[in-house]
Structure 1
Amino acid sequence: MTNVLSFARRSARPDGGLGALLAAFAHHRRRPGDAFWLKENAELLGILAATGRRLPDLQLAVYQPFHEGVEEQIAFHPQYYRMLLGLTLSLETLGFPGDKGRRLAEWIAAQGWIDSEVNDLQRAETRHLLALAGVEVDQPGLEARLLQFMSRPATFALPNPRAAYDLLHAIFYLTGYGRRPMELPAKARESLLHLGCLAHLEQNGDLLAEVLIALAYCNEPLPPLWLAMVLAERAEFRILPEECRDSADAYHNFLVNQWLLITIGDTAFCETFPAGPMRFSLNRSPISPMREWAQALQNMGEGRRADWARMRAACQGRVSETAMRVADAGAAGSPGFETFFAVFAREAGPAPAARNRVAG
């Protein structure tokens, strides 16, 4: 691979105002204990815990009501056991006193909740969380099945949020969020690069940041083009001192952006956060370059070909200057772009034969 940078991971520098951020997530964004509250707080605390830091008791004290009542919550809402366990383990990793995480993990393992999961990714998350608490569970063949799923690059060259999430989180769980870096098989690495090409073409900084984190967890170099895009986005966030009335703000984009900064050894979570409610804003184009390209290619019908140079010439008048500029940058700086585009173009071929229906 050419034109890439490799970053050594080191501890982030000291925070600023993190207590206000924790208080906003704990008290001011969602109703404590509901599914949205669990999701947002699990993501925030999970990211902080994955970086290996510890927080002052005063900052963590906002979670005392949750920690005191987690046994009752998990008994009444066992369907949320992964989020509840993850939150508890993250809190205690960050320095909250107690060993409830270990005791909850032992109870979950004894209850056999891992066998209630419908897919391998959920089983992998459960195994990861239990292992963090020192509880080992046997899941024969799990890693091999995840690697098989990850090793189909064509899956990740097309817009598919579910597949993208599963690929990235499979890497997070298998590496223990970077605690056990792994070497990706060649096809799985190609899958991750395809997903990065797609995220860049879409100008999706949230997804691209997670791709970069996954690459870092596998000791892979980070493409400068992708890194520059995500680092530039950090200046675009606006943290507003107002209530978030729905789940559509940019909190997740912000958290993942900060997570990447910590992963590459940069300073993160150093904003001056307002006291009280917070809403995260990020201006995004309503139509992405990726969508423009997909529409242009689809409208070409039988003229579609799995060839970037030919399709660039054919689509020059069909997409905006911005979409062309982003694609050109991707072709120059996204590793594996041409093999990605060969799938993304969906070269026209014979349609599936219609099945004859017999009236009866």
Structure 2
Amino acid sequence: MSNIVSLAARRAARPALGANGGLTSLLSTFANGRRRQGDAWWLKENAELLMILSALGQRPPEAALAAYGAFHAGLEDQLAFHPQYYRMLLGLAVWLEDLGQPGDTAARLAARIAAEGWIEMEVNDLQRAESRFLLARAGQTVDLPGLDARLHRFMARPETFALPNPRAAYDLLHAIFYLSEYGRRPLSLPEPALQSLHMLGNLAWLEQNGDLLGEVCIALHYTGQALPPLWLGFLRGEATSFRIAPGPCEDSSDAYHNFLVNHWLMGSIGETAFGDDYLAGPMRFSIFRPLISPLREWSQALMAQGARREPDYGAMRRACAARLSPEALEVADRGMTESPHFATFFAIFARPVAISGPVRKGA
């Protein structure tokens, strides 16, 4: 019941957006000002932005969506030539029409995808889950027996997510996004899966990775969980730290994704999202990132301990302190005192030599 109440509250508290002109400028920039329309990076960036606005329940002004008119009109031809990209193309059609783009292109794409059985080309369960979700949004139901059980089994191993593993992190978070339909339906997870989210959140905190930590908080929110004040405070601080400069994005390394995820989180919890009046024309995003993260410092210091590694944070803090910067010590200390399940996380992260089995219980 608590999840249902939480979902209702989310729907009632839509984020405040900036002036229509600001959102129009933002969409125009992503559609025309950063990448060549239709290339792989353009598809990725625009799918992410449009998905987030759809998840937040927004309806941009017609002028904002006009930048995608020609692309939307050509999606059927794109699908015919690029069936291997059907998930990306279907997703773009779904999000655009969710946001108010006229037409039923998404339904026609989904009908062809379902009729030709393209979901059978997928090699893993996460891709199948995404396909099922997008097809359902476009009116096509597919039956994939056992899929949910396999996803839940994957999510219910916290040890996986206490170690740096970008593929596993992505799969955990997106499994939750697809199963919850990006917050459109309540999702109740068993305790081991929730602990997996906390392990990943502690890892992101130790790395000071706002991009990953933001997605963890969104996933926690979609499962009806309270957000740790330590994490949320860090992310609110990042929300004021982004810098947007005029000019094209010359490579793939700018902070656009961190920017989008941060606004997605703030909008999801009813705070202002995309509230600025953005520049007209090309823009690039930046945020300060330290060269060496506390996560890396701790990993190197722990590895240097060799057979002396043990699961207790206090003992390892004393043993590793000489190899750690004051910043790395402070971040870990704050995690230990303020971050939920940090002791359990650290007991796995330390990879203690004397412990042979998995560590599941603890603070």
Of the three residues 58, 66, 80, the one matched with 2:63 is 58
Q: Tell me, in whole angstroms, the C-alpha distance in 1 between the residues paired with 2:60 and 2:170.
A: 29
**1:75-90 correspondence runs (5 A):** 75-90=80-95
Aligned counterpart, 1:48:
53
Local SS of the residue matching 1:269: coil
- Structure 1, unmatched stretches of 5+, are 1-5, 352-360
Aligned counterpart, 2:102:
97
Q: Tell me, in whole angstroms, the C-alpha distance in 2 between the residues paired with 1:252 and 1:161.
A: 15
Q: Does 1:339 align with 2:335?
A: no
Q: Tell me, in whole angstroms, the C-alpha distance in 2 between the residues paired with 1:224 and 1:134.
A: 39
Q: Tell me, in whole angstroms, the C-alpha distance in 1 between the residues paired with 2:179 and 2:163.
A: 24
**1:1-360 correspondence runs (5 A):** 8-9=9-10, 10-16=13-19, 17-348=22-353
Q: Tell me, in whole angstroms, the C-alpha distance in 2 between the residues paired with 1:58 and 1:274.
A: 16
Local SS of the residue matching 2:285: strand
Structure 1 residues 67 and 320: CA distance shift in structure 2, 3 A: same
- Conserved in 1, the CA contact under 8 Å of 2:310 and 2:354? no
Shift of 1:349: 5.0
Q: Tell me, in whole angstroms, the C-alpha distance in 2 between the residues paired with 1:105 and 1:242.
A: 37
- Conserved in 1, the CA contact under 8 Å of 2:16 and 2:275? no
Aligned counterpart, 2:359:
none
Shift of 1:14: 3.3
Q: Cα deviations across residues 127-159 of structure 1 (Å, max 9, x unaligned)?
A: 000111121000000000000000110000000
Q: Tell me, in whole angstroms, the C-alpha distance in 1 between the residues paired with 2:77 and 2:17.
A: 35
Q: Cα deviations across residues 57-104 of structure 1 (Å, max 9, x unaligned)?
A: 111000011111101111111111111110111000000111111111
Q: Tell me, in whole angstroms, the C-alpha distance in 1 between the residues paired with 2:153 and 2:56.
A: 29
Local SS of the residue matching 1:212: helix
Shift of 1:204: 0.2
AA aligned opposite 1:129: L
Q: Tell me, in whole angstroms, the C-alpha distance in 2 between the residues paired with 1:199 and 1:239.
A: 24
Give TM-score scaled by structure 2 length.
0.93
Over the matched positions of the two proteins, sequence identity in percent amounts to 62
What's the RMSD between the two structures over aligned residues? 1.4
Q: Which moved more, 1:295-304 or 1:9-18?
A: 9-18
Q: Tell me, in whole angstroms, the C-alpha distance in 2 between the residues paired with 1:87 and 1:78.
A: 14
Q: Tell me, in whole angstroms, the C-alpha distance in 1 between the residues paired with 2:73 and 2:17.
A: 29
AA aligned opposite 2:304: N
Q: Tell me, in whole angstroms, the C-alpha distance in 1 between the residues paired with 2:283 and 2:16.
A: 24
Aligned counterpart, 1:3:
none
Q: Tell me, in whole angstroms, the C-alpha distance in 2 between the residues paired with 1:191 and 1:270.
A: 33
Q: Cα deviations across residues 213-251 of structure 1 (Å, max 9, x unaligned)?
A: 000000011000000001100111001101101111000
Q: Which moved more, 1:6-15 or 1:133-142?
A: 6-15
Local SS of the residue matching 1:12: coil
Q: Tell me, in whole angstroms, the C-alpha distance in 1 between the residues paired with 2:277 and 2:57.
A: 22
AA aligned opposite 2:341: G
Local SS of the residue matching 2:240: helix
Local SS of the residue matching 1:317: helix
Q: Which moved more, 1:46-55 or 1:160-169?
A: 46-55
Give TM-score scaled by structure 1 length.
0.94
Shift of 1:56: 1.3
Q: Which moved more, 1:9-18 or 1:149-158?
A: 9-18
Local SS of the residue matching 1:272: coil
AA aligned opposite 2:104: D
Moved over 4 A (4+): none
Q: Cα deviations across residues 281-338 of structure 1 (Å, max 9, x unaligned)?
A: 1110010001100100000111110111111121222201000000011011111111
- Structure 2, unmatched stretches of 5+, are 1-5, 357-363
